[in-house]
Amino acid sequence: MHDDVEEGDRLRRTLRIVLTILGGLLVLSTALSIIRTDEPWIRMLDFPRLQLAVLGVVLMAAHLGAWRFKSRWATALLVMMGLAVAYQGYWIYPYTPLASREVPDSGQARTDGALSLLAANVLMDNRDSPALIELVKQHDPDVILVMEPDQWWETQLRVLEATHPHTVKEPLDNTYGMLLYSRLPLTDSEVRHLVEDDVPSVYTKVVLRSGQEVVLHCIHPKPPRPIRGDDTTPRDRELFIVAREVKGSDLPAVVIGDFNDVGWSRTTRRFQEISGLLDPRIGRGMYSTFPAQLPLLRFPLDHVFHANVFRLIELERLGSIGSDHFPILVELSYEPTSAGN
């Protein structure tokens, strides 16, 4: 019996040590994420805020059960974990159905002012092009943005030109290629390299069926990569360049692509502040798209932002196409008379 008691004590001590270490790491990672810096290993802490919040709740429950307020420093750690969970929740709250919707639903049936877009990061080495083609046939979007295509992908997707003859193409073998297909007319189209020579973006105007022109920016900046020492400066610069262009344009704009950033980061929030664009996910959900193979570690990296003259008809994360990203589909309704309401 004495041995059983000692063994039980050892297990409790071990559990308390493990919980203390994990709780300390939660508090530390949350504190580091407050620091304003371009260092990638700190900025990457913007990404798992949902995961850290959920982990924090679990740890608090386990911590409370293990200690039962029998230690002052353990109680202090519990309070700090609570503050960490609250801070993480502050950032992700807008991307839950509990928050107010930033973009109202459209009250109209589909009209000549409707615009549907499908954005898909295909993963360059993925060779399941039939999955993407079938998805296009199923949802029949007006505009298709393909990210990470190499020349193989460009060849395979030429079949899309039968229904989407207006194109802008820049296939590359560096995972930053870009293809744009549209059934609606495109004008003033150009491939641009806003920050880095090997990272293209697409600028074009889309002519809606009503005749209204809409500026479309398609972007896929490089992510911060701590192992390589790449900080967030190039990504942030590209987002802010596009934001300032949108602000200075007289035409309504849509910005779509893989931002390699989450919607709740300071950078993306600043992008919205400068551009004045709206995020249809706010008040609806996160629509996390990456990594497709790891449900518990997914983040919302693929985004669409739009001017306030649009209302939302549909927003959906689509099924797998063999990539590490899920495609995303959005359909907007141009309703300038309801802007600001």
52-69 pLDDT, tens per residue?
A: 999 999 999 988 877 776
For the residues 13-39, what does the mean pLDDT come to?
89
User: pLDDT-derived band of residue 8, with 50, 70 and 90 as boundaries?
Assistant: low
Which residue, 87, 91, 81, is CA-closest to 27?
81
DSSP letter string, 253-276: EEEEEE-SS-TTSHHHHHHHHHH-
Which residue, 184, 192, 238, 233, is CA-closest to 211?
184
d(CA 311, CA 292): 28
**What's the pLDDT tens digit per position in 116-167?**
999 999 999 999 999 999 999 999 999 999 999 999 999 999 999 999 999 9
Would the pLDDT of 341 be above 70?
A: no
For the residues 311-332, what does the mean pLDDT come to?
97
Would the pLDDT of 256 be above 60?
A: yes
Q: Tell me the percentage of the chain whose pLDDT exceeds 90.
A: 80
As a whole number of Å, the CA-based R_g of the chain is 23
Give residue 89's pLDDT: 97
d(CA 119, CA 94): 23
* DSSP letter, residue 284: T
DSSP letter string, 59-81: HHHHHHHHHTT--HHHHHHHHHH
Pairing of strands 328-334, 114-121: antiparallel
Give residue 233's pLDDT: 86
Instruction: State whether residue 320 is helix, strand or coil.
Output: coil
Give residue 298's pLDDT: 95
Give residue 121's pLDDT: 98
Give how far Cα 110 sits from Cα of 210, 211, 252, 300, 333, Å. Answer: 12, 15, 19, 27, 7
Q: Are 144 and 160 in contact (CB under 8 A)?
A: yes
- Residues with Cβ within 8 Å of residue 73, at least 6 apart in sequence: none
Would the pLDDT of 198 be above 90?
A: yes
Write down the pTM of the prediction: 0.92
Average predicted confidence (pLDDT) for the chain: 92
**What's the pLDDT tens digit per position in 205-220?**
999 999 999 999 999 9
Would the pLDDT of 106 be above 60?
A: yes
Sign of the dihedral defined by the CA atoms of residues 16, 21, 26, 30, in that order: positive
- In this predicted model, which residue has the larger pLDDT, 76 or 166? 166
Give residue 91's pLDDT: 96
